Amino acid sequence: MGDSSDSVSVDMETISVAGKEHLVKTGRGYVSVAVFGDQDKPALITYPDLALNYMSCFQGVFYCPEAFSLLLHNFCIYHISPPGHELGAAVMSLDDPVLSVDDLADQIVEVLDYFRLGKVMCMGVTAGAYILTLFAIKYTQRVMGLILVSPLCKAPSWTEWLCNKVMTNLLYFCGMCTLVKELLLLRYFSKEVRGSVEVPESDVVQACRRLLGERQSPNVLRLLEAINERPDITQGLRKLKCRSLIFVGESSPFHSEALHMTSKLDRRFSALVEVQACGSMVTEEQPDAMLIPLEYFLMGFGFYRPSQCNVSPRSPLSPTSISPELFSPESMGLKLKPIKTRFSEEV
């Protein structure tokens, strides 16, 4: 990207970015998995939020040059799409099984077995974070670490349950109509990027709106019903012995849920990063805010940024804006403390 000191140098030729789609048959139906990178490397699996897939949920963080250099250098990425949410998905057949959140978690272990994967790093957003956390509770030995973005762990509140019921009825009778899209965008993004009468909505929101229009409403309805009937898994969080890094936007409707989850995780192995002026989908709205916490979190596993890559001061996270605790040996090694770290958009 040039020779200036404030740029990131990434040799794009040395890292394979060509993804390959796999349709994996499981005991609970087929699952689409997009694989990026060298399959000899450790695995990082992702799971998106409701009505999204990897293109609409993780493109921001994975296409950010700094994150690209960090993640693709160290991992092979396995993007798991919820059933019927993959690119170009057809309407699911009435003969396809109706899955619960437990079924979705169990599908993941079948995907790992298909690719002959052992322990994996997991990254999920909201509903996807819940499913990966449930997977980690059920299959503790298969999880190396959890990177959770605006996660859920409790059963739906009355407010969320009612909103989901409204969306369920709209999806059933009207399909992916304008109102459903607006409710989903409220779920994903802060008001700063959703726009107003005076300020147009941001490019990332416009792109997400277009991608939502490509979703098959019956498929989204199935996942929404599973998420709306999810049980509280708070009691299982203490079973987790893997390290966990939680991101949450301060404008996320699930902000309090993320704080609750952090309070229930083992304090020795978890850390919290709050991002100001950001909604639930930090991966798309403020992916730069994830870079330095991710880098220090992964250092604890022995993963490093390639030597030719430099951290860009473009990021809203300069070293001076991060709690000194994040640089402690515990954060970089065996023990992660729960940290309430706030970042503003000002550099």
Residue 63, domain member (yes or no): yes
Per DSSP, helices labelled H in the chain are: 54-57, 59-63, 65-74, 101-114, 127-138, 158-174, 178-188, 191-194, 203-212, 217-228, 255-264, 282-285, 291-299, 329-332
Query: Which of these ranges, 66-80, 94-108, 325-339, has the smallest mean pLDDT?
Result: 325-339
Q: Which residues contact 306 (CB under 8 A, 6 or more apart)?
A: 69, 73
Whether the per-residue pLDDT at 15 is higher than 90: the answer is no
pLDDT of residue 65: 85
pLDDT of 100 > 80? The answer is yes
How far is the C-alpha of 77 from the C-alpha of 34, rounded, in Å?
A: 8
Q: Contact at 8 Å (CB) between 273 and 51?
A: no
188: Cα within 13 Å, side-chain hemisphere? 29
Question: Percentage of the chain with pLDDT > 70?
Answer: 83
Q: Which amino acid is at 52?
A: L
Q: Give the chain's count of helices (H) and strands (E).
A: 14, 9
pLDDT in tens, 208-226: 999 999 999 999 999 999 9
- The 10s digit of each residue's pLDDT in 123-166 is 999 999 999 999 999 999 999 999 999 999 999 999 999 999 99
Rounded to whole angstroms, the Cα distance separating 20 from 131 reads 23
Q: Are 148 and 135 spatial neighbours (Cβ–Cβ below 8 Å)?
A: no
End-to-end Cα, the chain, rounded Å? 21
Whether 208 is covered by a domain: the verdict is yes
Q: List, for residues 263-273, the tens digit of each pLDDT value.
A: 999 888 999 99
- What is the chain's mean pLDDT, rounded? 86
How is residue 209 written in tokens? 């709106």
**CA pair distance 183, 186, nearest whole angstrom:** 5
pLDDT value for 327? 39
Among the ranges given (51-55, 90-94, 260-264), the one the predictor scored with the smallest mean pLDDT: 90-94
In which band, very low, low, confident or very high, does the pLDDT at 293 lie, cut at 50, 70 and 90? very high
- Res 18: pLDDT: 54
The residue-averaged pLDDT of 295-307 equals 88
Q: Is residue 345 part of a domain?
A: no
Q: Does any domain span residue 305?
A: no
Q: Band of the pLDDT at 311, cuts 50, 70, 90? A: very low
Quick check: is 113 in a domain? yes
Asked if the structure places residue 329 within a domain, the reply is no
Phi, psi of 180 (to 5 degrees): -65, -45
Task: Give domain status of residue 143, yes or no.
Answer: yes
Position 234 in a domain: yes
Q: What is the CATH number of the domain that holds 132?
A: 3.40.50.1820
- Total domains present in the chain: 1
pLDDT of residue 6: 39
Query: What is the band of 199 on the pLDDT scale with cuts at 50, 70, 90?
Result: confident
Helix (H, G, I), strand (E, B) or coil at 77: strand
Q: Given strand 43-47, what is the order of strands in its sheet?
A: 20-26, 29-36, 76-80, 43-47, 120-125, 143-149, 243-249, 270-275, 340-343
Residues 231 and 105 sit within 8 Å (Cβ to Cβ): no
Domain ranges, residue 271: 20-300
CA separation for the pair 126, 229 (Å, rounded) = 15
